[in-house]
Chain A
Amino acid sequence: AQSVTQLGSHVSVSEGALVLLRCNYSSSVPPYLFWYVQYPNQGLQLLLKYTTGATLVKGINGFEAEFKKSETSFHLTKPSAHMSDAAEYFCAVSGNSNSGYALNFGKGTSLLVTP
Chain B
Amino acid sequence: DAGVIQSPRHEVTEMGQEVTLRCKPISGHDYLFWYRQTMMRGLELLIYFNNNVPIDDSGMPEDRFSAKMPNASFSTLKIQPSEPRDSAVYFCASSLGTGRIYGYTFGSGTRLTVV
Contacts and interface: CB of A to CB of B under 8 A. Distances in A.
Interface of A: 32, 34, 36, 41-46, 49, 51, 90, 94, 99-108
Interface of B: 4, 31, 33, 35, 42-43, 45, 48, 50, 55-56, 91, 93, 98-109
B48 A102 contact: yes
Contacts of B101: 32, 51
Contacts of A99: 56
Interface of B (DSSP majority class) = strand
B50 A100 contact: yes
Nearest to B47: A102
B99 A94 contact: yes
Nearest to A52: B101
Centre residue among B50, B98, B101 by max chain A CB count within 10 A: B98
A34 B91 contact: no
A57 B102 CA distance: 14
A103 B44 CA distance: 10
B43 A90 contact: yes
B56 A107 contact: no
A43 B99 contact: no
A46 to B, nearest CB: 4
